[in-house]
Amino acid sequence: MRTLYTWLFRAAVPLILLRLWWRGRAQPEYRSRWRERFGRVPERASRAPLVWVHAVSVGETLAAVPMIERLAARHPHWQWLVTTSTPTGSERARAVLKPLIGGRLLHYYAPYDLPECIAPFVDALRPDMLVIIETELWPNLLAHCAQCGIPTLLANARLSEKSAAGYARFGRLARPMLRKLDRVVAQYPADAQRFVELGLPEERVVASGNIKFDLEISLGLESESQVLAHQWRGRRGRPVWLAASTHAGEEEIVLDAFERLLEEFPDLLLVLVPRHPQRFNSVARLCRSRNLALLRRSDGGLPGPAHRVLLGDTMGELLRFYGACDLAFVGGSLVPVGGHNMIEPAAWGVPVVCGPHLHNFSTVAQLLIDAGGMRVVEDAEQLAGQLMDWLRDDSGRRNAGERGREVAAENSGALERLVGEMENLMKR
């Protein structure tokens, strides 16, 4: 089955390259560094231990940062190879990790899952361990690592019922692939059980919680958010609603709800942050088409009383944005994407609203819902109604935010458990 998969992958390479070129129309970075995707990278001169961390895009990259930071402090002789698959993930990896570990960081795009791409990549860099963040599993990559004696660990692993059913349909490919993993550190027992049911030996999996709960809000970050809050609210103390990580089809719903809210709260400021940079311009046009006075964050300047929407079209600022708002909507949930990280606003004590599509964060979402720190809505009317309730009731809004903060604090600790598993695997 892996041989068949490999030949099908080879046949698809021209289409994959065409897709990269096509996506490069909106995001030119997709048209660069193709040699890396085929495994052609410079040979590493150093003989220091090298930990290879693969994080697909922005979310996985940011989840890996505290893990790398903690281990880099404990093991200053280790080097780090971080691979991503998208330009936004690449940009975040360099921007966030370079200041933390400096010259110990190597960064490339991950090679395609073909033997002729993986082998030269591994030969040139000689990693001592591969850590994959969440669910990015590739049959040839894991087979090659097993052949070379490179231990592999799946970190912060999650496996929804839908994803497990997909793997089960290709059991003859998935089971041998999973058995190549030396260790799976799953988020929750339900995730661990699904891996076992798919063929992973039970003794290789442990449930440790979600490392995204181990979010540290530094005094510096808190201070930056307070400055933002003061700038956005102005002298009148206007309320601020943050709609974060939105996808196509969600901005229209958000703006419909916003226009209803303006009828009762005319000074409300909407901070709108699309998930993907290539959509910044189209979202700006959408806001202007509704005659909503818009300020782009990248233009500099502060939102004045006449501005209705602040478009968050910069990278790496979302966490401090959460600390500067009164209410948060987390996107990827009103459309069938599966939701994005609602732990971040909860950790700030900000009440959260999401849509019904939450399978990427199903356990986290249920914890927040049960505690009263998050609400689920279906459409613009319900979204506006829930936000209106919180805007009318300061005490209720603060209580909901505090319940979310408590959930975030109570579920921390997964990071230390994951770090311990990685250290044990490196010793082996």
Neighbours of 96 (CB within 10 A): 18
Contact assessment for residue 88 and residue 277, using Cβ atoms and an 8 Å cutoff? yes
Residues in the chain, pLDDT under 70: none
**Residue 216: predicted pLDDT:** 86
What is the rounded distance in angstroms from the CA atom of residue 422 to the CA atom of residue 374? 33
Residue 331, CA distances (Å) to 18, 197, 288 in order:
29, 31, 21
**Residue 3: predicted pLDDT:** 96
Using the CB atoms, write b or e for 320-335: b if 16+ within 10 Å: bbbbbbbbbbbbbbbe
**Residue 308: predicted pLDDT:** 97
Structure letter (DSSP) for residue 29: G
**Annotated catalytic residue within 29, 43, 60, 317:** 60
Neighbours of 42 (CB within 10 A): 9
pLDDT digits (tens, 9 = 90+) for 375-392: 999 999 999 999 999 999
**Residue 298: predicted pLDDT:** 95
**Residue 32: predicted pLDDT:** 93
Neighbours of 66 (CB within 10 A): 18
**Residue 427: predicted pLDDT:** 87
60 is catalytic: yes
Query: Which helix (H) or strand (E) is 294 found in, with range?
Result: strand 294-296
Q: Write down how long the chain is.
A: 428
Residue 107, CA distances (Å) to 211, 327, 335, 404 in order:
22, 36, 32, 35
- Look at the block and give the residue holding tokens 């990015």: 136
Contact assessment for residue 212 and residue 339, using Cβ atoms and an 8 Å cutoff? no
Task: Report residue 128 CA to chain centroid gap.
Answer: 25
**Residue 38: predicted pLDDT:** 97
| pTM more than 0.85 | yes
